Amino acid sequence: MFGSVIDFELGEELNTLRDRVRAFVHEVAIPAEARDRSEHGLDPGLRSELQEKAKEWGVFGPQLSEDLGGLGLDLRGSAVILEEAGYSVLGPQALNCAAPDEGNMHMLGLIATPEQRRRYLVPLAAGEIRSCFSMTEPAPGAGSDPSMLLTRAARVDGGWSVSGRKWFITGADGAAFTICMAIAEEGATMFLVDAENPGFTVERTIEATDRAFPGGHGEVVFEDCRVADDAVLGAVGEGFAYAQVRLAPARLTHCMRWLGTARRALDIALDYANEREAFGRKLGELGMIQRFIAESVIDIESSRALIWRCAWALDQGANGRHESSVAKAHVAEAVVRVVDRAVQICGALGVSGDAPLARLMNEVRPFRIYDGSTETHLWSIARRTLKARAGASR
Ligand SMILES: Cc1cc2nc3c(=O)[nH]c(=O)nc-3n(C[C@H](O)[C@H](O)[C@H](O)COP(=O)(O)OP(=O)(O)OC[C@H]3O[C@@H](n4cnc5c(N)ncnc54)[C@H](O)[C@@H]3O)c2cc1C
């Protein structure tokens, strides 16, 4: 795999699209940030307004296939565009390439039946509805270790009964449907559950540091939740395999968007360091500030390189498990470092509500935990590497 050529040229079309998305973010998304005041994510009115504008600008759905009204980019192209969108927390919502819908659309595109596609994927891709993904459970259920899943699915007349409790389900409040992971006799299985199903309840929206996701993060209950056989997504017993199909690209697209956020934070810090004076010179002339800046540039550029490598591997058809773990573990830590340094460079302004940095810090911090915590990724990278070496030396 590593013998073939890696090309860093973006090409004219992608460059043009990147410039258009950059202009959209500066002219539409950033000015709208002052109106984004809701506690748990962007309010539905502002989200629809931004999505309509993105359609007018021809930048809607960059990662979606053309038959779904998207721009049909592969992951390498998406890496460029989603980074640009992430420069504003409103960018990915406007372009309909934000989590969790983006990961759900990707998975539905691969495994949904034609009828599931018509009912769930088509309106999701058009931005008409939102969705969520219900996997994590409060202790003692599944968190870092998915094998601890407690939610059960039992066969009943005409379908299934799903029972269990999930939490930190992003976008649950206001989602039209959820994809629920439950254990059936045959193994982990995914079910499409409509929000209006009487057996499904969003019990509360959890207080969290971030507020970029419409609907916040919900605690949801499935109580003898009845669904028909055609609600099974993919094959019964294959849920964990499909979760991998969703997770490797989904965690990579998170990396792309948060990289844009890190760039925004650094730009704010650079503007401050170029203007603000202390001890008879600009902050940017002080060695320790220069070190912060250089380290942030290295964090951003190394993150981009790892994202592009993983995107390339996935585009070649590799499962990308290793590349996405390496990228995720590095990028999540790197973007938090970049934003934290930007806060430090800006002094009191950095922690105030006057600059968006305090908000950005609250947005990026949870990324070290979701889509696999840094520690679980480091653990699997180390185990894989040890095993490979043991195999090589035998
Ligand atoms: C903002 C946010 C949004 C989320 N959205 C969703 C969603 O939409 N749908 C969904 O299903 N879930 C979602 N989650 C849940 C997320 O997937 C879990 O938080 C994650 O899998 C970790 O599980 P846990 O929180 O139960 O942590 P635990 O499993 O309790 O782990 C706690 C800590 O233990 C450490 N740890 C765990 N394993 C290891 C190891 N092998 N080696 C060393 N240390 C280890 C890590 O530091 C970890 O952070 C979201 C979480 C957050 C914070």
Does the pLDDT value for residue 351 go beyond 50?
yes
For ligand 1, residues with CB inside 6 Å are 100, 132-136, 143-144, 168-170, 208, 210, 217, 366, 369-370, 373, 375-376, 379
- Written as one letter, the residue type at 289 is I
Nearest CA residue ID for atom 11, ligand 1: 135
Distance from Cα 147 to the centre of ligand 1, integer Å = 13
Which CA distances in Å does 101 have to 54, 104, 222, 369, 370?
A: 17, 5, 21, 19, 15
The SS3 assignment for 29 reads helix
Each residue's pLDDT tens digit, 95-117: 999 999 999 999 999 999 999 99
Instruction: Please answer whether residues 260 and 233 qualify as being in contact, where contact means their C-beta atoms are separated by less than 8 angstroms.
Output: no
| Six-digit token string for 67 | 């038959």
- Between these two residues, 130 and 5, which has the higher pLDDT value? 130
Q: How many residues does the chain have?
A: 394
* Residue with token string 């009964």: 161
Percent of the chain with pLDDT over 90: 92
223 token code pair: 């109580």
Is the torsion defined by CA of 272, 274, 275, 277 positive or negative?
Answer: positive
For a pocket test of ligand 1, which of 107, 144, 383 has the largest count of ligand atoms closer than 8 A to its C-beta? 144
- CA 137 to ligand 1 center in whole angstroms: 10
Cβ proximity of 339 and 364 under 8 Å:
yes
Choose among 164, 197, 191, 194: nearest CA to 179: 191
Q: What whole-number distance in Å separates Cα of residue 327 and Cα of residue 189?
A: 28
Task: Render pLDDT for 280-302 as a digit per residue (tens, 0 to 9).
Answer: 999 999 999 999 999 999 999 99
Average pLDDT over the chain reads 96
Give the span between the Cα atoms of 153 and 160, in whole angstroms.
Answer: 6
Residue ranges of alpha helices (H) inside the chain are 12-24, 30-32, 44-57, 75-85, 91-95, 101-111, 114-116, 122-125, 239-275, 287-315, 321-345, 347-351, 357-364, 374-393
Contact present, 58 and 13 (Cβ < 8 Å): no
Distance 358 CA to ligand 1 centre (A): 23
Best mutation site among 209, 369, 374, 377 for ligand 1 pocket (most ligand atoms within 8 Å of CB): 369
On whether the 12-98 domain is CATH 1.10.540.10, my answer is yes
* Ligand 1 center from residue 318 Cα (angstroms): 25
Query: Do residues 86 and 257 lie in contact, with contact meaning Cβ atoms separated by under 8 Å?
Result: yes
For residue 366, what are the CA distances in angstroms to 52, 168, 297, 301, 345?
A: 29, 11, 22, 22, 22
At 246, is the pLDDT very low, low, confident or very high (cuts 50, 70, 90)? confident
135 CA: nearest ligand 1 atom: 11
First to last CA, the chain: 23
Cα distances from 350 to residues 25, 159, 246, 332, in angstroms, run 22, 54, 36, 20
Atom 25 of ligand 1, nearest CA residue: 143
pLDDT at position 187 is 97
State the CATH architecture for 240-393: Up-down Bundle (1.20)
Domain segments of the chain as ranges: 12-98, 131-237, 240-393
Structure-token pair, residue 334: 């790197």
d(CA 17, CA 71): 10
What pLDDT, on a 0 to 100 scale, did the predictor assign at position 4? Answer: 59
Q: Which of 203, 194, 192 is nearest to 168 (CA)?
A: 203
54: amino acid identity, one letter: A
* Cis before 100? omega within 30: yes
The two beta strands, 177-184 and 131-134, are parallel
CA 376 – ligand 1 centroid, Å: 9
Task: Decide yes or no: CATH 2.40.110.10 for domain 131-237.
Answer: yes
Instruction: Give the pLDDT of residue 38.
Output: 81
**pTM score, two decimals?**
0.96
pLDDT digits (tens, 9 = 90+) for 156-208: 999 999 999 999 999 999 999 999 999 999 999 999 999 999 999 999 999 99
pLDDT of residue 2: 47
Can you tell me whether residue 168 is helix, strand or coil? strand
In this predicted structure, the answer to whether residue 94 has a pLDDT above a threshold of 70 is yes
Instruction: Say how many C-beta atoms besides its own lie within 10 A of residue 125's C-beta.
Output: 23
pLDDT at 5 over 70: no
- Judge whether 299 and 337 are in contact, CB under 8 Å: yes
Which pLDDT score, from 0 to 100, does residue 1 have?
44
For residue 140, the CA-to-ligand 1 centroid distance in Å is 13
pLDDT at 377: 97
